[in-house]
Structure 1
Amino acid sequence: MSFKIAIIGAGSVGFTKKLFTDILCVPEFRDVEFALTDLSERNLQMIKSILDRVVEFNKLPTKVTATTDRRAALEGARYIISCVRVGGLEAYADDIRIPLKYGIDQCVGDTICAGGILYGQRNIPVILDFCKDILEVAEPGAKFLNYANPMAMNTWAAIEYGKVDTVGLCHGVQHGADQIAEVLGAKSRTELDYICSGINHQTWFIDLRLNGRKIGKDELVAAFEAHPVYSQQEKLRIDVLKRFGVYSTESNGHLSEYLPWYRKRPDEITRWIDMSDWIHGETGGYLRYSTETRNWFETEFPQFLESAARPIDPAKRSNEHASHILEALETNRVYRGHFNVKNNGIVTNLPQDAIIESPGFVDRFGINMAAGITLPEACAATCTSSINVQRMSVHAAISGDIDLLKLAVLHDPLVGAVSTPEEVWQMVDEMVVAQARWLPQYADAVPAAKERLSKSRIKTREWAGAARRDVRSIEELRAEKTALKQAV
C-alpha cells in the first residue's frame, strides 16, 4: 500500500518515533510516505535523522520528508496526526506559574483547570488552521487523528467548527487496564476484558471481567490496597474507587485536578499525592518532566540517533491507537479501542454535543462506536461538570470572548474550590496578557486587560505550590539513569 501520513508537531521526537515504528510494524505499510512538519527546523532535522536511520537500518522503501511548510506536508495526505504543543514550554510554564499566585496547584494542567483552559485557547485557532488546510489540500475524506491536549476541546473544535473527520486518541485507558490486570494477578492484559467510558482523562471502568469472571468493587479495592506500590502511589484514585464504585483511567495526579475535593488546600494535597514520580501529584510535575526530557534529548541526541539503528520488532509495537486504526481502515483487520468522538447518543447520560471517550471497533468502514452505554450517576455528574467547562472554553476560543473565558475558568471544579470570582477575573486577565502572542482571538481584549491589571487591588502571592521539585540537571539525570541500570 502507498499513501501519505502527515505528522504535525513532529518535533515531539520520542512520540513521533514511537508512532512511526508502530506504523511500520504493519507489513502492508512499508511503502508509506511520512511527511513531518513543525515550527522548529532544528527539531525537524533531528527527528528526520532518527527516522532516516530507522529506515536505512531496516532496508525499507519508506519515504520520510520534513518541512516547516505545513500545507506542503498536508498536500495529498490520507491521514494527519497532530502532536502539537502550542506555545511550547514557555507558555506551559505560565499555565502553572500564574494560577499558583492565586492558590491553584496543578500537577499537569493540560485538560481543564486554569492551565488546560488556556492551553485550549492557544490550540483551538491553530487546530482550525489545520482543518482548513486539510479540507483544501489533503486527500478527499482525509482523517485527522488528534493526540494533542486538551484532547476534548481540540477534538470538539475540529469536528464542530473545522468540519474535518476527526478522532481524538489517548492512552489512559490502556495504562489503567495494565494496572488492573496487575493487581488482579493476571498473567497478561489479554486476560482482562472491560468496558471503559466517559470523557478523556475521566474515563471509568464500568465493567471488568477477568477470564470471563465479573470483578466487583470490593475485590478491586482490596486488590489495589494490597498492592505494595499502587496502594501508595494511587491513594486518591483508590479513594475515588471506594466512593464512586468504579476505577478511573487517569493517574493520581491528573485525576486530582478535575475534582474539587483533593487539591483545594496544601495540607490536603500532601495527604493524597505521592512524590515517587511526577505523575502521582507533584506540583507542576509534568512541566518539570517535560523540561528535563527536552534537555536530556538535546544533550544526548547522538545516543538517540545511534539507538535508532535497530530492527523494527512487531512484538514491541506499542498500544498507541494510531497504527492499529490505520491498519484496520486499510486492511480490514478489526481493531477494538477507546476513541474520542462526538457523543450523539453513545453515552446516554452525557450531553449530546460532548466529546466522549468510549469503546469502538474499526474496520474498512470506519470507526464504529458501541452505543447505549450508561455511566454510574456519580461518574456522569463529574464528567458533566467538566463538559460544561469544555463547551464554554471552546466557544470562548472561537469567539475571542474574554468574559466567556472567565466564566469557563470560574466554573472549573478545582478553580471554583480555591478562588473567588474577583481572583478568577484577575487571573484570566493576567494569563491572557502573558500569553497574548499565542492568543490572536483576544488581541482586542488585551489592552483593557492590561488596564485592569494596572489598577487591581487583589493580592497574590509567590508560591511554589504544595509539592514542587526543581528541574534536575543533566548530571543528576545521568547519575539517576546509571543507578537504575546498576540496580537492574
Structure 2
Amino acid sequence: MVKIAFIGAGSISFTRRLVRDILSFPELQNSTLALMDIDEDRLEKSRAMTQVLVDEHDLPTTVEATTDRRAALEGADYVMCAIHVGGEEPFRNEIEIPQAYGVNQSVGDTLGPGGVFRALRTIPTMVDLARDMEELCPDAPLLQHTNPMAMVCWALEEATEIDVYGICHSVQGTAHDLAEYVDVPFEDVEYWVAGINHMSWFLELEYEGRDLYPDLREVMNDRESEAYADDVVRFETMRHFGHFITESSQHLSEYLPYFRTSEEQIDELTERSNYREDPDEFEYSPVCWMPTGEYLKQWSSIDPTDAFDLEEMDRSLDRSAEYASRIVHSLETGEVRRMNLNVPNAGPDAEGGGLISNLPEEALVEVPCLVDGTGVHPCSVGKLPSQLAALNRTNINVQEQGVRAALEGDEDALRRAVKLDPLTSAVCTLEEADELVDELLEANADYLPELS
C-alpha cells in the first residue's frame, strides 16, 4: 500500500483535484491518503470531500487527516505540497505597497517584490518540511506545487537532501491554448518546451509532423482575432522574440519590463484585448488579471467552510491535466511518460554545463523529463536561442538573489533581488527600490523573523 502525504490539504479545490487524479488510477486506489493542514476547518472539508469520493466508488483507500505534519509524513512514499504561508495580510502588502511605487503587479507570486517576499516567508517553512522528510520519509520525492516555484525548489535543492520536483500546469495548459488558436486537436499536438517556470518556450510545435508556427504567426498578425485579444502579451512577446511562451499573458506581463510601466500603457493594452466594456465590471484580462483591489477582494472573500457543497460536488474520477498523479503512477507501475518538470539545471544527465547549456548551472529549469519505474530523468535540451536565454536570465538573476536572502537572512541580497527585477527596475530608481523594501520589511516583519 502506497502512502501519499498531502501537505497544505486545506487548499480545498486543488487537493480535490489531486485526490481525484490519484483515485482515477486503479493501481493507486489501495493507497493511504494522509491529509495535513494547520487550518482545521479547511482540513475537515478536504477530508470529507476525499471520503465522499472513496465511498462513492467503494474504493479500498484509507483516508487520514491531521494537523500534525510529522504524523502525515511518517513513512510516506510520496509527498505533495501546496501551501501558502502567512495568509491574506502579507499577500495584500506585497501587492499594494509596490503599487504605490508604480510597480503594478498582476499576481505577485512568482517574481517582482511580491514573488521575492513570498519566497522569504515560504522557503523557511519548506526547508523545515524537507528536514522532517529527511528524518521520516527520506526516499519520498517531494512533488512541489507552491509558488514561487523556482525559488522554493532552488532553495530546497541547495539546503536539503530531498528529491524535489517542481510541478506546474502552464506547459500543458498553454499547449491546449495553442491547439485552440490554430484549430487542431490537442491530443495530436507534439511539442518540445524548455526554459524556466512561467517562462518556458515552445521550441517545437507540430501537428501530424507539420510545423504549427506559421499558423500561429497568422493568428499573431490578425490583431482583430479573438485569440490575439485573449493573449496580447504572449503574442507580442512572440512577435519580438520569436517563440511562444508558457504561463498566461496576465502573469507574463509582470516578468518583463515592457507592458506594465504606467497606467496608460496598461489601459492601452487592455483596450487592444477588448477587455471590460463596462468599467464598473471586472473579469480576467490579458494584461491586468483583474484590477488589484478586486483581485484581493476575490482572494480574501473565500470562506473555507463554504468552499464547496458536498451534496453538489462532482463525484466523478475524471483525471485533470496535473502531472502529480501521473508521476506517482509511472514510478509505481513503470509506465513511461514525458512531462515538463522543474529541476536543477546541473542535472544528472546534463551535458555541456547544464540541461539548458546557456543558462546558469545552479538555476532551476523547466525541461522535458522522462518518468518511469526507475525514476525521473531530465532531458538535456542544449542551447536555447540566445534571445530566449537572455530573457530567462533576467528572471534567474532575481531568483538567485531571492534564494540567498531566504536561506541566509541576507538583507543585501533581498535588496539586490528587488532592484534586479525587470518591472521594478523599469519604474523605480535605486533609492525608490530601497524605500519599497523598507516598507515591506516593516509591514511584514511578523512573517520574516530572519530579517526583522
TM normalised by structure 1 equals: 0.86
Structure 2 CA distance for partners of 1:265 and 1:51, relative to 1, 3 Å:
same
8 A Cα contact 1:346 1:373, kept in partner: yes
* Partner residue of 1:310 out of 302, 312, 315: 315
Gaps of 5+ in 1: 447-488
Q: Is the 8 A contact 1:155 1:166 kept in 2?
A: yes
CA distance in structure 2 between the aligned counterparts of 1:309 and 1:150, rounded to whole angstroms: 30
Residue of structure 1 equivalent to 2:259 = 262
**TM-score, normalised with respect to structure 2:** 0.92
Offset at 1:393? 0.5
- Kindly indicate whether the alpha-carbon contact (under 8 Å) linking 2:418 and 2:433 is maintained by their aligned counterparts in 1: yes
Task: Give the equivalent residue in structure 2 for 1:282.
Answer: 288
Q: Is the 8 A contact 2:41 2:304 kept in 1?
A: no
| Residue aligning to 1:460 | none
**Percent of aligned pairs with the same amino acid:** 39
Deviations for 1:55-100, whole angstroms, at most 9, x for unmatched residues? 1111112111111111111111111111011112221111101101
- Deviations along 1:241-277, whole A, 9 cap, x unmatched? 1111110112111111111111112111122244453
SS in 1 for 2:237: helix
Distance 1:311 1:238, change over 3 A: closer
How far apart, in 1, do the equivalents of 2:371 and 2:193 lie?
17
Q: Distance in 2 between matches of 1:129 and 1:411?
A: 28
Matched, 1:160 2:158: yes
Q: Tell me: CA distance 1:95–1:350, structure 2 relative to 1, closer, same or farther (3 Å).
A: same
Q: Select which of 203, 207, 219 maps to 1:223.
A: 219
Question: Is residue 260–residue 413 contact of structure 1 (8 Å, CA) maintained in 2?
Answer: yes
Instruction: Give the corresponding residue for 1:198.
Output: 195
Partner of 1:7: 6
Deviates more, 1:288-297 or 1:117-126: 288-297
Distance 1:25 1:17 in 2: 12
Give the Å deviation of 1:33.
0.8
Offset, 1:377 = 1.2
- 1:438 deviates by 1.5
Give the counterpart of 1:402 among 411, 417, 426.
411
Aligned counterparts, 1:390-469, within 5 A: 390-442=399-451, 446=452
Displacement after TM superposition at 1:225 (Å):
4.7
1:356-388: CA deviation from partner (whole Å, max 9, x where unpaired): 001111001111111033211111001011111
Instruction: Tell me, yes or no, if the aligned pair for 2:229 and 2:286 is still in contact at 8 Å.
Output: no
Give the total of aligned pairs: 435
CA contact (8 A) 1:53 1:308 kept: no
* Cα-to-partner distance string for 1:148-177 (whole Å, 9 max, x where unaligned): 000000100111112210000000011110
Q: Which amino acid aligns with 1:163?
A: E
CA contact (8 A) 1:354 1:387 kept: yes
CA distance in 2 between counterparts of 1:193 and 1:309 reads 31
Amino acid at match of 2:337: Y
Note the C-alpha offset of 1:136: 0.7
CA contact (8 A) 1:202 1:249 kept: yes
Aligned counterpart in structure 1 of residue 376 of structure 2, from 352, 363, 367: 367
Structure 2 runs not aligned, ≥5 long:
277-282, 347-353
The 8 Å contact of residues 105 and 283 in structure 1, kept in 2 or not, is answered as: no
User: Is the Cα–Cα contact under 8 Å of residues 88 and 300 in structure 2 kept in the other structure?
Assistant: no
CA contact (8 A) 1:252 1:281 kept: yes
Q: Which has the higher helix share?
A: 1
Provide the rounded CA distance (Å) in 2 between the counterparts of 1:290 and 1:317: 30
Cα distance in 1 between the residues matched to 2:97 and 2:296 = 18
On the 8 A contact 1:96/1:284 being kept in 2, the answer is: no
Q: Which amino acid aligns with 1:423?
A: E
Q: Distance in 1 between matches of 2:42 and 2:300?
A: 11
Counterpart residue number, 1:456: none
Question: C-alpha separation between the residues in 2 aligned to 1:252 and 1:402?
Answer: 31
The residue number in structure 1 matching 2:145 is 147
Deviation at 1:296, TM superposition (A): 5.0
String of CA shifts for 1:159-210, please: whole Å, max 9, x gaps. 1112210000000011110111112211x21211011110000011011111
Q: Which residue of 1 aligns with 2:342?
A: 340
Matched residues in 2 for 1:334 and 1:86: separation? 35
Task: Determine the C-alpha separation between the residues in 2 that align with 1:430 and 1:71.
Answer: 36
Amino acid of the structure 1 residue aligned with 2:116: I
Alpha-carbon distance in structure 1 between the residues aligned to 2:386 and 2:269: 24
CA distance in 1: counterparts of 2:80 and 2:73, whole angstroms: 10
Aligned-partner Cα distance in 1 for 2:27–2:73: 22
Q: Is the 8 A contact 2:266 2:288 kept in 1?
A: no
Matches within 5 A, 1:69-80: 69-80=68-79
Name the structure 2 match of 1:208.
205
Show the 5 A alignment for 1:4-83.
4-83=3-82
CA distance in 1 between counterparts of 2:209 and 2:341 reads 24
The residue matched to 2:359 in structure 1 has which SS? coil
**3-state DSSP class of the match of 1:49?**
helix
Partner amino acid, structure 2, of 1:308? M
| Counterpart position of 1:453 | none
Question: AA paired with 2:219?
Answer: A
Conserved? CA contact 2:233–2:253, under 8 Å: yes
The aligned counterpart of 2:349 is none
Q: CA RMSD in A?
A: 1.8
Distance 2:257 2:447 in 1: 29
Q: Give the corresponding residue for 1:117.
A: 116
Q: Displacement of 1:309 after TM fit? A: 6.4
Amino acid aligned to 1:324: R
Deviation at 1:285, TM superposition (A): 5.4
Q: Is the 8 A contact 2:219 2:227 kept in 1?
A: no
Residue 252, structure 1, aligned to residue 249, structure 2: yes
Question: 1:110, 1:150 within 8 Å by CA — same for their partners in 2?
Answer: yes
Q: C-alpha separation between the residues in 2 aligned to 1:52 and 1:207?
A: 42
SS at match of 2:146: coil
Detail structure 1 runs of 4+ shifted over 6 Å in the superposition.
none
Question: Whole-Å Cα distance in 1 between the matches of residues 101 and 159 of structure 2?
Answer: 33
1:53 Cα deviation from its structure 2 partner: 1.1
